[in-house]
Structure 1
């Protein structure tokens, strides 16, 4: 049987794109105080932009802003706002315009998640995630759209791959999926519903705002190492024992993989791309969760010639 080849780690975006790619540009990022969105923000800063990071916890935001500014030499403004509250977002946008005079890029990344079966999921818990992820994205777009139109700018909405999965039919003799997209991941009804809505919202924005020079795309991260999502969702799965084995590229993603996708989608190289969902997952949606039995052995083991 052939040995597997693990995909190399992601390069720095600076090794691929010009350092001054976003000089003079301004990023507005919800959820930018931590996690993947913080790394996405840092990548845009490293290419010359300034940024505003928005979140509910001001102490965390201030700390993140200081770290980002120190690491990149760019200006980073921390603004406290709850994306569920339109007035707070409007105030955050006003502060952004007062400080920088423009908004070119928006990352809608504020999100909430936890594990819960539908049976144990309260209406309030479901509503909370929908309000943060989906309504929060809508509120962010509404608050920033006049300035994104003016700049002919771009939106990136952070989704997930939870609602794209196929499920392996254990009764199948072939050991393959019996159906494919939009089936479901256990204990993720709330976030799957929210992210499916985010995907649809982005597509509508792309259609309505494209004639005004505005682009809207989605980045859907797969399993990303060193994130809470991976720690919570895969610790008891096959991934916990053999990280990356069930992915075609044989490794979990890194935050830099998402950062590189961010720089690309905001760059001029993507100026003809809108209304799309960029899945960054090493091919996991095609093979993950047992979609193909004994992957990758099934494709590496020699078969008789016919």
Structure 2
């Protein structure tokens, strides 16, 4: 259920009460999409009204996404994750895009995160196609690999709109530190792969934040280096490889992904790379 009252003014800025406006357009969960779906204008209305940076970004960039995007409420998202994009494929082709949010309508503090998820879809249009899991239970691995290479590009481009990538980066680090507290280094190859990708992703995003906003302490990397030195060392090797290859174009990312998948998943049991 949305966090606003039925008789409050609808967040879509129509001037009507929610009950007589966007509530009528809410779609119930189905077998294909097992989430409640809300109109996009309802979901982003508050952040468009309250965040000048997001409004400018949305007005300039939203039309680049050609696919149909569904906006869903998902209270079951993992701890520390307030939004996630899910892509479903049918016969090898993209079937649907669902942006899942913990809170609908989106709150203004989520502006940068929402723009970030939208920009993943825009990079898809520009040829940064990423990878897909062999099975749905490996989606988090495929997502971490794709995000490792695209998130730094996204953060750099979002910063041009004045969106707050610095504080969002710090908040993500704090959330990750809380999630890691008390955990042991994974022994299985699949989860080690996930940890390595996230470690490198954090370093690459940190470099963007420092470039745009000046030096910021990276407490997450310090923690990893101290508590999980083997993972950290493997991550540093992958980081050097990425910096050597470069990752700023679709062609470079494709070559990198091919090499990374060949190294970490040579039998193709986890990641389905677009070769």
> Could you say which structure has the larger radius of gyration?
1
Q: TM-score, normalised by structure 2?
A: 0.32
**Which of 1 and 2 has higher RCO (CA within 8 Å, sep 6+)?**
1
Q: TM-score, normalised by structure 1?
A: 0.29
More helix by share: 2
